[in-house]
Structure 1
Amino acid sequence: MKSNSTEIAKVAIKLAVSTREEEKRLIKEFEKKNIKSTAVDIGGDLINSIPTIIERALVASKKTGIIREEHVYEGAVAGATKDAISQVDFKAMGLNFGGKIGIARYGEHLVVCIFISIGLLHLNDLAIGIGHRSIPPID
């Protein structure tokens, strides 16, 4: 596996846009390549959901071993998640949304991808955001 941010971003994106069934298969596939990954459902009113989105990303990352419970790792996940949110917030501001976060890590590269469907009357809009952090590898 090539350790660069682009390859790890592709993994996070695949997880964010996958169905639950695809997600399980993908996580096993990535595990064989020593890529740690997970995905989490999100939804609600964007402004009120931001703390919950960051919390879900943190909990999922710790639970699956993507990061350790240490300040530098938690800050990286929170920061990358916030970056991803900032790329979709202009479209979803004041509206309800549903979607998924894909998180992937290989070596020093950590990527968080948010893929959301934004409800507007009977129309749905889509948005995707991505954040990257470089962090110390976990031994």
Structure 2
Amino acid sequence: MAFDKEKSAGFLINHIARLFAKELQHRIQPLGIVTGQFPILLELWEGDGLTQRELLEKLDIEQATLANTLTRMQRDGLIKRTKHPTDARAQLIWLTDKASKIKNEAYQSAAQINMESLSVLSEKDQALFMEFMRRVIAGMRSD
């Protein structure tokens, strides 16, 4: 059977992700952040004081990628790390005031892109699309 990229979920999802990331980068760059930092910030805005291991479990990214991104975020003044109170090997990751101050504007940027991107679908189709994506993610995580 021949491969057809237009019938490939992986290709199409990746294409959507690239288009979304490109637009998101354009909008969040003035805030001093990049798209690779955005998922980490989203998790920490929901509740900081997480360990690197906890972030890995939430984000489904490689350990080395997360470690490098956290190092850059610390360098850029977006996070700080403190010793874990009970695990000498772990550190807790906290948002700085700088990162906290950009939360609302970053959320607004992402929400605007979501709205614009999904505007080609009816509200019902948008809800179905989101549900289908959540199901695929859950299925892939369970493997």
Task: Answer with 1 or 2: which has the greater Rg.
Answer: 2
Q: Which has the higher relative contact order, 1 or 2, with Cα contacts under 8 A spaced 6 or more apart?
A: 1
* Shared fold, TM over 0.5: no
Bigger strand share: 1
1 or 2, which has the higher helix percentage?
2
**TM-score, normalization: structure 2?**
0.28
